[in-house]
Amino acid sequence: MKRRLLFIAPSLQLPSDSSQLRLLSAGLAGEHFDVHVAAICDPVGSPTSISNVTIHSLGIGPAQKRRRAPHHAVALAGSIGELLKSLRPDIVHSWDANARLEIAWASQNFPSIHRVETISSPTMPLSHFRQMLRNRITTWKGPVVVPHRSLIEHLTDAGCPEEQIVLIPPAVSLDQKSSRSDAKRNLTDYLGLPESIYLATTFAPLQPRFRLKDLVWATDLLTCICDDFHLLIVGRGNQKTRLRKFASQTEAASHVHILDSPPEKLTAADLFLGSDVYWNANLITPLASPMLHSMAASTPAISVLGSGTSDLIRHQETGFAVNFGARDEFARWTKYLIEQVESANQLCLQGQSFAEQNFPLDVMVHRYLDLYEGRQQGSASHLP
């Protein structure tokens, strides 16, 4: 009899937040586990689906509302408790969910459930993130998985035992049934733009620390020499109005497009294959999934260089590395890609090969299987 695995995640709507969970849950479902995913903030009945995986949309509301209003936390704990009661999972895996206390409270009556947690990136300013980790230490019962070594220091500084931390890098696997030209047509049609444009895309929360204004500023530079250049920003956050206002004060106002989340009619392949370049202006999320998927789709990446991005970007080999805060360098290397077509194509192939060879999906799935089955050293040893 297959064991039952329940993932609890903030949302399945944004590729930047959910792509790794989607890949893992689909890879584990069927042969290995009866897999369920509970999405905290997604509206009940949302159209998200994953092959062989049962989706539960809790529809509790945005995380910031739950922090401000205690009744949201109570509602979340109640919903998770009801789900645990009905599913009786063998393993509960919290995936970047700011609901650990609610999960712990709801699972008090289910002591046989084994708990695992994945933390992909700081979900708030670094000082707040470290304080949040310290507050969690007393409720940590199982392994804590991180995708990059840079996060281990934050956990150990907060008091998490090093033997409890497991390093499992992310993976890439992109459905490329549609061609690049079809994906570009789908994406530009949705944006109401001609297919001939040159499009840069980035996935990031709309918050100041993700430095999206740097990319708007770079877009302003590029539109002076390339009037068919456009920037697509995909993400949610409290800076949306300010970001639009900032863009309106530049020549790039009509060249900057913001989507809260990818519409249902656009697939992940449309977004990554349909873009001409991927821009990453921050160092907050190590080994960012959207940049990985873009490289796997043979879309060149331009990224600030630092911990986490240096594992992907080898300057002028797998992508272009720029200095932190150097807005003009995004424009400079994008101009190079536009003008040096042969060199750009070669870089795309090298980036694609690097991503596929170094971040295979089967390796990530088997490492999580080892963790669940207790075959991994250290923190996994207490799992059955």
Predicted confidence (pLDDT) per residue in 321-361, tens digit: 999 988 899 999 999 999 999 999 999 999 999 999 999 99
Residue 378, pLDDT score: 45
Domain ranges of the chain: 3-171+360-382, 180-358
> Is CATH 3.40.50.2000 what the domain over 3-171+360-382 is classified as, yes or no?
yes
Residue 51, pLDDT score: 87
* Band (383; pLDDT cuts 50, 70, 90): very low
Residue 138, pLDDT score: 61
The mean per-residue pLDDT over the stretch 4-17 comes to 81
Residue 109, pLDDT score: 67
Residue 382 has pLDDT above 60, yes or no: no
Residue 48, pLDDT score: 75
Q: What is the rounded CA–CA span in Å between residue 75 and residue 190?
A: 37
What pTM did the predictor assign?
0.88
* Band (64; pLDDT cuts 50, 70, 90): very low
pLDDT by residue (tens digit) across 193-232? 999 999 999 999 898 989 999 999 999 999 988 999 999 9
Q: Which of 22-26, 129-133, 285-289, 371-375 has the lowest mean pLDDT?
A: 129-133
Residue 67, pLDDT score: 47
Residue 376 has pLDDT above 60, yes or no: no
Q: Please, what is the angle between helix 341-358 and helix 289-296, to 10°?
A: 120
151: nearest Cα among 139, 168, 171, 136: 168
Residue 293 has pLDDT above 80, yes or no: yes
The mean per-residue pLDDT over the stretch 139-157 comes to 85
Residue 264, pLDDT score: 74
Here the tokens at position 46 are 């949302």
Residue ranges of the alpha helices (H) in 233-383?
A: 240-248, 268-273, 289-296, 327-339, 341-358, 361-373
Residue 168 has pLDDT above 70, yes or no: yes
- Mean pLDDT, the chain, as a whole number? 85
Whether the domain at 3-171+360-382 and the domain at 180-358 fall into the same CATH topology: yes
Scan for tokens 């000082």, then name that residue: 127
Sign of the alpha-carbon torsion through 129, 132, 134, 137: negative
Here the tokens at position 268 are 């992940």
Q: Which residues contact 96 (CB under 8 A, 6 or more apart)?
A: 9, 10, 17, 118, 119, 120, 121, 123
Residue 189, pLDDT score: 94
Residue 348, pLDDT score: 95
Identity of residue 82: E
**What percent of the chain stands above pLDDT 70?**
84
Report which DSSP code applies to 284: S
Residue 241 has pLDDT above 60, yes or no: yes
The CATH number assigned to the domain with range 180-358 reads 3.40.50.2000
**What percent of the chain stands above pLDDT 90?**
49
Here the tokens at position 88 are 């009786």
pLDDT by residue (tens digit) across 38-58? 988 877 766 678 889 999 988
Strands 3-9 and 91-95 come out as parallel
Lateral strand order in the sheet of 165-167: 54-57, 33-39, 3-9, 91-95, 114-118, 144-146, 165-167
Phi, psi (degrees; rounded to nearest 5) at 321: -100, 135
Residue ranges of the alpha helices (H) in 142-207?
A: 150-157, 180-191
Burial environment of residue 381 by CB neighbours within 10 A (0 to 12, 13 to 18, 19 or more): exposed
Identity of residue 61: G
